[in-house]
Amino acid sequence: MAKPKPDPHTGIDRFTAVTSGAPQDPPGIRSIATRDHDAIRRWAGRHGAEPATGEATPSGPAVRTVTDTGPGIRFNFPGLARFRPISWDEWFDNFDRYDLVFVYEEEDKAQVAARARELWNARGRDEGRADADWFEAERELRLRRPGGTLPDVRYRLITRDRLGGTPSDRRDY
């Protein structure tokens, strides 16, 4: 997992912002924090992520040095299997033992839909271009983000006591 880049104005990456106060998500993106095991499995399924660890556990030896001074759980992604695969049961045992929260980002479809509707209205509500309006709305929102980035598979595992606050965009928690 690549280290999140800090915002050039605040020096804080978005995931740190989620854990320390009101998050400021880029246009078209929302950060979500959850402890729901099913929601985490669904996220993993959408991204081809498999539960993994680098540390020695009862199920196997250490394969990497993990320096998070905590649970050592991770995900392997297609083509990036750097860690030792473990079962979901073992992954969630660690997740629960360390009282973790899974923080991830996804496209905010409500923002995209609102922008697509604005485009449709600006065109005089002409029918037959819904897909084009949607794709243009996604493109415009992406260009408003630092670096013009798309949502990706960045995630962070944090302890529940570091979460702080309960903004309305944090669901499943």
- What would the pLDDT profile of 97-121 be if each residue is shown by its tens digit? 999 999 887 777 777 788 888 888 8
Confidence at residue 26, expressed as pLDDT on a 0 to 100 scale: 58
3 pLDDT more than 70: no
9 pLDDT more than 50: no
- Interatomic CA distance for residues 25 and 169, integer angstroms: 10
- Interatomic CA distance for residues 44 and 73, integer angstroms: 13
Q: Quote the tokens at residue 126.
A: 């002409």
What is the percentage of the chain residues whose pLDDT exceeds 90? 17
CB–CB of 61/144 below 8 Å? no
CB–CB of 28/145 below 8 Å? yes
- Interatomic CA distance for residues 76 and 80, integer angstroms: 6
pLDDT tier at 25 (50, 70, 90 boundaries)?
A: low
pTM over 0.75: no
Mean pLDDT for 52-67 is 82
Confidence at residue 164, expressed as pLDDT on a 0 to 100 scale: 62
Mean pLDDT for 112-140 is 81
Mean pLDDT for 59-75 is 79
- Interatomic CA distance for residues 23 and 99, integer angstroms: 21
- Interatomic CA distance for residues 10 and 14, integer angstroms: 10
pLDDT higher at 59 or 88: 88
